[in-house]
Amino acid sequence: MRNPAFAVLSLILMIAAAAPDRAMAFGNGDPAKNSCASCHTLSREEAASLLEGTADNVTGIAPGPFLGTWEVDASIGGKVYPLYVDFSKKYLVQGQIIRLRDGENISRLRFSELNRVDVSSIPLDDAIVLGNASSKRRVIVLTDPSCPYCVRLHEAIKDAVRKDPEAAFYIMPYPRNPGDRFTYTRCQAAVCDKTGKLLDDAFAGRKVPPPTCQSDAVDRTIRLAERLRTQGTPSMILPDGRIVTGAMGADALLALTR
């Protein structure tokens, strides 16, 4: 489920503002202590040189999440990762940034913000809807019935819909491993059924009958996941275009729809 490039290269930062061509270093908000801002700068050209061989392109620079760092938004393999560089311009710091006061994974938040997608470009005709189909609070779920995290998420989605009938989850099942014909057939059967009954059976590991239609919806979902370069299953596309990967509880899911 976890992409190694994400863990190694996405050194994520809290500042989401658009970056100018040259970023100034910054202090802690106290003008009397903010002397570093006058003597440390980093241009996109410098950042691109520092990251040569690691990043394809530098798309922006902003102050880092704590003193002594810059955020460098870098394109790597079709995704934009927020990296950060220290004032000496000698070091990249590996790992994810976790905010201690609430446990928020700042790295994952920033990554999803930088890689928003156009939700209107995603066809939903073949999706299986759990919740209110007329709701605008739609979350699109790319999921695999053979994935343990997806199984957990599926139960959480059903719980979320019971708690808030106005939420809507558009389920698009597909096998994350292209050669998995067993899961492919189960996904296709669920798509043909449309009621959600066979979808529940597939996630519960129960026997699923052969597909009753010739739909190519599963193939289209596979291509969609490839186009979006999703980080694994389950992946959820939120109403604002952010992509969130992984299982979570019902309350957390409902918070994403608001």
Tell me which of 114, 132, 152 is where a domain ends: 114
SS3 call for 24: strand
Q: Do residue 103 and residue 139 come from a single domain?
A: no
SS3 call for 7: helix
Q: Do residue 93 and residue 192 come from a single domain?
A: no
pLDDT tens per residue, range 208-230: 999 999 999 999 999 999 999 99
How far out from the chain centre does Cα 136 lie?
20
Q: Tell whether omega for the bond before 234 is within 30 degrees of 0, i.e. cis.
A: yes
Q: Do residue 89 and residue 136 come from a single domain?
A: no
pLDDT tens per residue, range 30-48: 443 444 656 788 999 999 9
CATH code: domain of residue 200:
3.40.30.10
For range 156-176, the mean pLDDT: 95
For residues 122 and 227, the answer to whether their CB atoms sit within 8 Å is no
How far out from the chain centre does Cα 178 lie?
21
Q: Do residue 204 and residue 144 come from a single domain?
A: yes
Q: Got the DSSP string for 97-133?
A: -EETTTTEEHHHHHHHHHT---GGGS--TTPEEEE-T
Q: Do residue 211 and residue 178 come from a single domain?
A: yes
Tell me which of 114, 132, 159 is where a domain ends: 114
* Structural domain boundaries, residue 214: 119-256
Q: Do residue 143 and residue 89 come from a single domain?
A: no
Q: Do residue 125 and residue 236 come from a single domain?
A: yes
pLDDT at 17 (0 to 100): 32
Q: Do residue 151 and residue 136 come from a single domain?
A: yes
Residue-averaged pLDDT of the chain: 85
Q: Which residue has the tokens 């809807």?
A: 129
Domain count, the chain: 2
- The amino acid at residue 222 is I
pLDDT at 171 (0 to 100): 97
Q: Do residue 76 and residue 154 come from a single domain?
A: no
Q: Got the DSSP string for 60-73?
A: EEEE-SSTTEEEEE
Say if residue 23's pLDDT is above 80.
no
Tell me which of 81, 98, 114 is where a domain ends: 114
pLDDT tens per residue, range 35-93: 465 678 899 999 999 999 889 999 999 888 888 888 899 999 889 999 989 999 999 87
Q: Do residue 161 and residue 226 come from a single domain?
A: yes
Structure tokens at 68: 């002594």
Query: CB count, 10 Å around CB of 205?
Result: 11
Nearest to 202 by CA among 175, 221, 178: 175
Can you list the alpha helix ranges (DSSP code H) found in 14-56? 44-50
- The amino acid at residue 191 is V
Q: Do residue 39 and residue 148 come from a single domain?
A: no
Q: Do residue 126 and residue 235 come from a single domain?
A: yes
- C-beta pairs of 26-32 under 8 Å, 24+ apart in sequence: 26/63, 26/67, 27/67, 28/67
Can you list the alpha helix ranges (DSSP code H) found in the chain? 4-9, 44-50, 106-114, 148-163, 181-193, 197-204, 217-228, 250-256
